[in-house]
Structure 1
Amino acid sequence: MSLLTEQIKASLADKSIPEKAAFFPRFFKAGPGEYGEGDKFLGVKVPEQRKIAKSVFKEISLSEISVLLHDEYHEVRLTAVYILVYWYQKLKTASEQKQLVDFYLSHLNFINNWDLVDSSCHHILGHYFIDKDRSLFYELAEKDHLWSQRVAMISTYHWIKRGFFEDALALAEKLLFHEHDLIHKAVGWMLREIGNMDFDVEMEFLRTHYQKMPRTALRYAIEKFDPELRKQILSGALD
């Protein structure tokens, strides 16, 4: 462990709030048999983690970030993810971006809760692959690995915001009947974002699937709909 990684961990420990350290294991489902089983928490607020990440991303190395991503504490890994995002956003060349993308993909096992995924994948993978072959995301969706599957879905957010819906819709259909509600939420969220950009595109998808799709995904997808339309959809009586 380098002096810098020790300093980062010490800075996070200094910002620890005991009440949050006690609450976070319940919030992030870190109990036995839950999706975050065994994760440990310092109890640090996100703004503090972002502040630390911004202060070090220009001087840290990938090997040091790897050390942080292997850490047992959730906030250390999340801070490492923020560092990666800030670093990636400053890169100028495709070769530099690819190096960081490859690093990110090689560490997916440590980007292992929904906040780590959601804070990073669309900023890094979504951005990098916007003008490239996207077969990787279908491979991730096929993996028997919850976080890889969520990465596949949430990465489409970058494309959705730029009016590219095809892969988001295809991945939503592929993951629609996944067994885990974290994927249902991811699918519903991305469908909602599509609707924010083009209501008709989302409605076309929903007309095909709304009667059978998981309730959580459906509720997320229609969260911002007109109350009467939302009622029709939830009752299975869409015209």
Structure 2
Amino acid sequence: MKRIEDLKKELEKYIEEEKSKFLAKFFQAYPGGYGEGDKFLGIRVPYLRKIAKKYRNLTFEETEKLLNSEYHEHRLTAVFILIHKFKGSPEKVVSIYLCNIEKINNWDLVDSSAPHILGRYLDNKDRKILYEFASSNNLWRQRIAIISTHYFIKQNDFNDAIRIAEILVNHKHDLIHKAVGWTLREIGKRDKNLEIEFLKRHYKAMPRTMLRYAIEKFPENERIKFLHGEF
């Protein structure tokens, strides 16, 4: 595992102690927060991407070990390495991803990985697992489910995104409100009528944050009508 140690030593060059305190607060690693118990070194994402690219030929065993690190930045670096490896070994990458899904345990880890690994893999496959995740009681699996559909959305394939948004539209957590709203906004960039159809069914009852995210790019007069319940 010498290469893992080399990777970690290179990452250590970019540690910022004050940044680690900021990140712990930003990702709610405090007691009662959604990231409770996570540990941060204080390394900016561009440096993680740089090191991941350099070590993209790390073995799968080493990458999986890195993904199980107690440090958030190590896990995010492992995610970036898996994305590099996807084209050559999609089955293996997805297997590691799903076997270690509990380590994809904050919104940046989800958003950096779900479309590029699980979404990409499921492009022409049965997507049952996304519905299982969406219907679970696990916040991160639910976010993985909806964010994975962003890969399909880019292919103008909206069906699963809409159906999973329907499952999550009354969710209680702010991180799901934002994720569903963001997803609807992405659909609307390509098919505004489809987004509006969804909103007409749900906008009066959906969480306010979700609605605001969904209509962010709408003309001012349309936003006002939705926000005032007059559409």
- With the shorter chain as reference, the TM-score category is over 0.9
Structure 2 residue ranges without an equivalent (≥5): none
Correspondence for 1:32: 31
Question: TM-score of the superposition, structure 1-length normalised?
Answer: 0.95
Equivalent position of 1:61 in the other structure: 59
Q: Which runs of 4+ in 1 moved over 3 A?
A: none
Aligned residues: percent identity?
52
The structural deviation recorded for 1:143 is 1.7
Residue number in structure 1 paired with 2:15: 16
Which residue of the other structure, out of 183, 204, 217, is the alignment partner of 2:210? Answer: 217
Distance (whole Å) between structure 2 residues aligned to residue 117 and residue 86 of structure 1: 16
Map 1:72-83 → 2, pairs under 5 A: 72-83=70-81
Kindly state the Cα deviation for residue 64 of structure 1 after the two structures are TM-superposed.
0.8
Which residue of structure 2 aligns with residue 119 of structure 1? 112
In 2, distance between residues paired with 1:150 and 1:180? Answer: 10
Tell me the distance in 2 between the aligned counterparts of 1:236 and 1:69. 45
- Structure 2 distance, partners of 1:129, 1:64, is 25
Report the alpha carbon displacement of residue 14 of structure 1 after superposing the two structures with TM. 1.3
Task: Name the aligned partner's letter for residue 82 of structure 1.
Answer: F
Instruction: Please state if 1:206 is matched with 2:204.
Output: no
- Residue 224 of structure 1 deviates from its aligned partner by 0.9
d(CA) in 2 for partners of 1:156, 1:137: 9
Deviation, 1:97, is: 1.3
> Does residue 158 in structure 1 map to residue 156 in structure 2?
no
Deviation at 1:73, TM superposition (A): 0.9
- Give, in whole Å, the separation in 2 of the partners of 1:22 and 1:145: 26
Give the Cα separation in 2 of the matches to 1:142 and 1:64. 32
- SS of alignment partner, residue 131 of structure 1: coil
1:50 offset after TM fit, Å?
0.1
CA distance in 1, matches of 2:138, 2:98: 13
Out of 184, 188, 198, the residue aligned to residue 191 of structure 1 is 184
- Separation (CA, whole Å) in 2 of partners of 1:137 and 1:103: 17
**Residues 81-134 of structure 1, C-alpha deviation per residue, up to 9 Å, x if partnerless?**
01111111x32xxxx311211111111100110001100110111111111111
Normalised by the size of structure 2, how large is the TM-score? Answer: 0.98
1:18, distance to aligned residue in structure 2 (A): 1.6
1:216 Cα deviation after fit: 1.0
Please, which runs of 5 or more residues in structure 1 have no aligned partner? none
The whole-number CA distance in structure 2 between the counterparts of 1:7 and 1:118 is 27
How far did 1:41 drift?
A: 0.7
Map of 1:138-157 to 2, 5 A cutoff? 138-157=131-150
C-alpha distance after superposition, 1:39-74 (max 9, x if no partner): 11111011000000000112x111111111111111
